[in-house]
Amino acid sequence: MSTTQPVSDHESESASSDVLRVLGAFAHPDDETLVAGGLLAWLARSAEVHVVTATRGERGEVIPGDIAHLEGDGPGLAAVREAELTEALEALGVATHHFLDSLPGPAGRRPQRYVDSGMQWDGDSRVRAVPDPAAGRDAFSRADAETAAQVLAAHLRTVRPHLVLIDEPDGGYGHPDHVRMHQVTMRAAELAANDRAPMPVAQSPNADEAPWTVPVVAWVVRPESAVRAAERWLADAPERPRLTTLGRSLSVPEPDGDLASIVKPDGAVDLVVDTTAVSDRVVGALRAHRSQVQDATLLTEVSAPDGAGRAAERGGAVGWFALSNEVLQPLHARIGLRVAPGWGSPAALRGALAAAEAHEAIESGAVSAGAADGSDPRPDPGDPPGWYLGLMRAFTALMGVVVTAAGTAFHRWEPPFGLLIALVVVISSGVLARSFADRLGVLVHGAAVAATALAIAYLRPGGDVIVTDEPIGTVWLVGVLVAAAAPMVAPGSWFRDGR
């Protein structure tokens, strides 16, 4: 898989298909995996996934001893990280990748080569980065953002993605390149939608002639509750390693410590995707980035039948890994998303991912066989708790008493209209009872209807004769019993639980 090739005619044609198209834009090799690896792998099973990387990570630290000499050697490390990125994308299942500076720029020329800016930690913090004053003029964080945005905008018009994934505005933890890539991508989305925006020579003949409004731009985030739970689990996990494979001491994050900006309060997260099913792909991608990532481990229990449930108890953690700082981190399988203001809605985001999930289910045969013959392929909603059914059955009994009492008092109004209306109301309450409860709930409702009608007819409360010994009284008594029984034979497919 080439990491620098322009979009081909075949790719342009595929952009017009009905398959969900997703584009992820990240600053360095390994960001696609560390930030959104699970989501990209989950989507790649059914969607057309594209990734754009701004730099080649020339200023990254190097972990393994056999390539330690490349630290500080920008071109040498860039070559290694390009190869690592290719392998990681293959592991994730991503088929199309471009470096931002490989795309056509103004006047048909490629833009300047974008170089890793580097970073420093903000004092003693390990969750907050600040710019490195030693960054050169070719650093991506110092590059002309408008030119970079024009380049990416032309690519958006060619790919025409339905969903764009990027870091949140502070770059996940403040890295200047992450922040700049966020800014560039947001601006590119604006330019791509503007038919008067200046565009570089495009990758396909008609790309610059057709503006494209990205339906949803989403920031990749993590819900705070899941992060806290995962870090508490890791701190207490007896099986976690205390040393790296290179023999260096490993620490773990403080479960109650400061959090990186990628972590958001649960209420600020629009959607969480459980990517446990593709955790093996993510670990494969992490291991591909061996210059930056070490000791990536997937818990063996994740593949067990109850693996997802057990992972949920750990806040979605399915393993661990460490970077060059020797801090062991939980491997998160729950990926959060927040819709960028003005670029879609939570409902649109859910719709896009639901479409991808449904397509994958159909392709994999996971949808029940009924879908093939035209029957309803809706998923089983599961059994409600026992207390709910008990409460709803009691409610249907009460509803039967009230409706029948009212119908009995009303049935003699303007014959036969009062009688017909009363019977329709009884039938409707039975259908409503079936919706609230189940078939047993309908039986309870029917019994309440029959008991109430007979009691009023023969016990004569208050001494009044409400049901007379006339044809209309007989029709009411027989009719109300039939009306109460009618919902019991209604097809189960009419109702949500299908029973």
Where exactly are the structural domains of the chain? 9-364, 386-494
What is the per-residue pLDDT for 317? 95
Measure the CA–CA gap between 378 and 11, rounded to whole angstroms. 33
List 26's β-bridge partners, or say none: 53
- Residue 470, SS3 per DSSP: coil
The rounded distance, in Å, linking the Cα atoms of 498 and 461 is 40
* pLDDT for res 391: 83
Q: What is the spatial distance between Cα 261 and Cα 172, in angstroms, rounded to a whole number?
A: 5
pLDDT at 10: 38
Using an 8 Å Cβ cutoff, are 278 and 43 in contact? no
- Tokens 């999930």 correspond to 357
Q: CA-to-CA distance for 183 and 424, rounded, in angstroms? A: 61
Which pLDDT value is given to residue 111? 79
Length of the chain in residues, anyone? 499
Cβ–Cβ < 8 Å for 346, 278: no
Q: Is 200 exposed, middle or buried (0-12, 13-18, 19+ CB in 10 A)?
A: buried
User: What does the block give as tokens for 307?
Assistant: 């693996």
Which 8-state DSSP code applies to residue 488?
Answer: G
Predicted confidence at residue 377, as pLDDT, reads 36
Could you list the pLDDT tens digit for every one of the 499 residues in the chain?
444 444 334 344 444 457 999 999 999 999 999 999 999 999 999 999 999 999 999 999 999 999 999 999 999 999 999 999 999 999 999 989 999 999 987 666 677 899 999 999 999 888 999 999 999 989 999 999 999 999 999 999 999 999 999 999 999 999 999 999 999 999 999 999 998 877 775 444 444 458 999 999 999 999 999 999 999 999 999 999 999 988 999 999 998 999 999 999 999 999 999 999 999 999 999 999 999 999 999 998 776 666 666 777 888 999 999 999 999 999 999 999 999 999 999 999 999 998 777 766 555 444 333 333 333 333 444 445 667 777 888 888 888 888 888 887 877 787 888 888 888 888 888 888 777 666 677 888 888 888 888 888 777 655 555 676 678 878 878 888 888 888 777 765 555 444 4
Count the neighbouring beta carbons within 10 Å of the beta carbon of residue 378.
Answer: 13
Residues 6+ apart with CB under 8 A from 68: 62
What element of type H or E holds 338? strand 334-339
pLDDT on residue 494? 59
pLDDT score, position 129: 94
Going from the C-alpha of 238 to that of each of 88, 233, 300, the distances in angstroms are: 30, 10, 15
**Tokens 């207490």 sit at which residue?**
236
Q: What are phi and psi of 438, to 5 degrees?
A: -155, -170
CATH architecture, domain 9-364: 3-Layer(aba) Sandwich (3.40)
**Is residue 179 a contact partner of residue 128, using CB atoms and an 8 Å limit?**
no
Q: Quick check: bond before 255 cis, omega within 30?
A: no
Give the span between the Cα atoms of 303 and 154, in whole angstroms.
Answer: 42
In this structure, the number of other CB atoms found within 10 A of the CB of residue 178 comes to 30
pLDDT value at position 36?
98
> What Cα–Cα distance (Å) separates residue 160 from each residue in 19, 41, 137, 211, 216?
11, 20, 32, 9, 11
Separation of alpha carbons 175 and 45, rounded Å = 30
In whole angstroms, what is the distance from residue 361 CA to residue 423 CA?
45
Place of tokens 């409460």: 391
Strand pairing report for 294-298 and 271-274? unpaired
Cα–Cα distance for residue pair 331/418, rounded to 1 Å = 67
- Residue in the structure block whose two tokens are 């007819």: 457
Q: What is the pLDDT of residue 381?
A: 41
Provide the residue type at 234 as one letter.
Answer: L
pLDDT of 385 reads 60
C-alpha to C-alpha distance for 401 and 452, rounded to whole angstroms: 6
> Is residue 320 packed enough to be buried (19+ CB in 10 Å), middle (13-18) or exposed (0-12)?
buried
User: From CA 269, how far away is CA 332, in angstroms rounded?
Assistant: 15
Q: Show Cβ contacts of residue 77 under 8 Å, excluding neighbours closer than 6 positions.
A: 56, 57, 58, 59, 60, 62, 70, 71, 291
| pLDDT score of 308 | 61
Residue 113, classed as helix, strand or coil, is coil
Angle between helices 386-410 and 439-459 (to 10 degrees): 30
Name the residue with tokens 């990681």.
Answer: 88
Q: Which residues pair with 130 in a beta bridge?
A: 120
User: In 3-state terms, what secondary structure has residue 299?
Assistant: coil
| Confidence at residue 11, expressed as pLDDT on a 0 to 100 scale | 41
| Cα distance between the two ends of the chain | 50
Q: 472 - beta bridge partners?
A: none
